[in-house]
Amino acid sequence: MKIFKLLNSSLIFLVLFCSEAIANESTITAVFKNDAKYKGTDDTFVRKGSSFSGGMSNFGRCPTIEINEQTRLGLIRFDVSSLFKKYIKINTVTLRLFSKNAPKSGKVSAHRLNIANSAWREGGNCGGTVIGGNRHEVTWFHLVDYGGFPSPPPSWASRTAGPSTAGVDYDEKALGSTDNRESKENAKFDIVFDGDLNGLINDWALASPIPELRDRGGNPSWTADWNWAQPAAETANEGILLKGSDGTVHVFHSSEAENPELRPQLIVSYEPRKKS
């Protein structure tokens, strides 16, 4: 009888072990990061200030992204259209950033932008006030352009300067957050997303940049050329807003970082559709 129970227990263990192995084999992990083969990451930050002290400056070409609670807000978007209809379940989504200065106070949270703000464009400047010329670059005041001086009213969904109004410019509930105490210089800083991951990737995978259309920085454009008149153009991949919890400025390497290994990544683990 004891031998029978022992054999039965061993059989159950073997079945469980094999089931876990099969499950692991059927999980695929896709990593999206700007490199020689993939150019689908847009990232920048907007800085609060007057017209000539950062408010009309674009930072899309900077090798870093600066983030805090109120005066430095990060924007990032990944082209995940290659995942369209490839999965039956999204298991995990992780935003992997790499810290440059590793502060220890506060935290960084990631929020979905409001789709009304989805026309933002990375741009091709690294600071400096740029006026007019239909530049189509995101600044503290505007999603893409401000057409001259004096500037027209802010073109964020809230109609205020900066995408800073929770529930209007971005979802109040964060996709995820990570304490700054976990950061180390030039080391990974992971923000693990929570909630309806299938719904999130379903939306983002529907959209892709418009072929042959680029902003002044040579970056992909997700909507047709658009100026400040409302309503703004929209795309299903609105992107992510990054914000801090206090005045501490956390500096991360951007997709323009010289070292490709320090560029932001979106890591998506999923169960693929079965081939018919």
168: tokens are: 């209007």
The answer, yes or no, to whether residue 10 has pLDDT greater than 70, is no
Q: Name the average pLDDT for the chain.
A: 88
| 3-class secondary-structure state, position 80 | coil
Tell me the per-residue pLDDT of 115-134, one tens digit each, with 9 for 90 and over.
Answer: 999 999 999 999 977 665 66
Q: For CA atoms 160, 163, 165, 168, give the dihedral sign.
A: positive
Residue ranges covered by each domain of the chain: 28-272
DSSP state of 53: I
Give the pLDDT of residue 18.
Answer: 36
For 29, phi and psi rounded to 5 degrees?
Answer: -115, 120
Residues across the chain: 276
Closest CA to 64 of 249, 219, 254: 254
Instruction: Give pLDDT, residue 144.
Output: 85
Euclidean distance between CA atoms 3 and 24, whole angstroms? 32
Question: What average pLDDT does the segment 152-165 reach?
Answer: 91
Question: Which residues on adjacent β-strands are paired with residue 252?
Answer: 65, 99
pLDDT in tens, 216-237: 888 889 998 887 777 889 999 9
Whether the per-residue pLDDT at 41 is higher than 60: the answer is: yes
| pTM confidence score | 0.89
pLDDT band at 150 (very low <50, low <70, confident <90, very high): low
Tell me, what's the pLDDT at 128?
79
Residue by residue, DSSP assigns 153-220 as S--STTSSSSS--BTTTB-SS-SEEEEGGG--TTSEEEEE--S-HHHHHHHHHH--PPTT-B-TTS-B
